[in-house]
Amino acid sequence: MNSLRGKTAIVTGASRSGGIGTAICLALAEAGADIFFTHWIPFDETEGNGVEEEWPQRLKDRLIGMGVRASHMKADLEDDHAPKRILDRVKRTIGTPHILINNATYCAPSTIRTLNTDLLDKHYHVNNRGTLMLTLEFAREFEKSNPDGGEGRIVFMVSGGPDPDNLAYIATKGALKAITAPLATGLAPFGITVNSVDPGPTDSGWIDEEMGQAFLPMFPMGRLGMPEDAAKLIRFLASSDSQWVTGQMIESNGGFLGK
């Protein structure tokens, strides 16, 4: 399978071996894409699912072992300068990117009693401002490098549902859903498609045994979602076969009933 040979993909948020970001990197590399990924271990250390400090280098080595070029960098999307730094590093180390997978996210519990402006701003800065500025940096670079047109791909990882414990997270992910269609319309003349993927509850390290037992009856296929499930859909959306698919919010959740 070499459908992405000659393409370069940026995948944000690949900090852990069991995460969706890592699964996406591996799936795209299997299709032949060169991979540039970002990671931000301080989030995993304080609010995420645990630190794997050596994982970025191990992932890079694994990708290179698959026969593709790979590079990575630390990047905090809360930093206003991060989007340009990411694009500059990609161009220096691998080349002009064709694919952008916006997987990095910020998520911390927020309820009707705990949500405040600081917490909301933290979610917004990463999930919306940083993500959208990176998206526009990518699109502008793609247009400059492909003046006669080409095939570019942008995917947002999103979420939703009536979750009263993650109000800020759901609100900011909802904003990405809302901008998917208008952004797809604006970038269509460049040959860039824009889609959102909602993977539903995915066993990427945050689902403990109690939560797993609660979720399982809501999956009609009898198992929890895995990072590889989302990665397979994203590999299709990154390919030439998906050129006519744009402006869509696609659920890849095994028919999850707990919406």
| Residues marked as catalytic | 169
Which two tokens mark 81?
């300068």
**Of 4, 188, 235, 241, residue with least CA distance to 252:** 235
Q: What is the end-to-end Cα distance of the chain in Å, rounded?
A: 35
Which two tokens mark 169?
């997270």
CB 237 within 8 A of CB 245: yes
Distance CA 78, CA 93 (A): 23
DSSP letter string, 89-101: HHHHHT-S-SEEE
Which two tokens mark 134?
């990176």
Q: Which residues of 156-172 are buried (b: 16+ CB within 10 A; e: fewer)?
A: bbbbeeeeeebbbbbbb
Q: Where are the beta strands (DSSP E) in 112-257?
A: 152-157, 192-198, 248-251
Distances 145 to 83, 101, 141, 190, 199 between C-alpha atoms, Å: 17, 19, 6, 11, 32
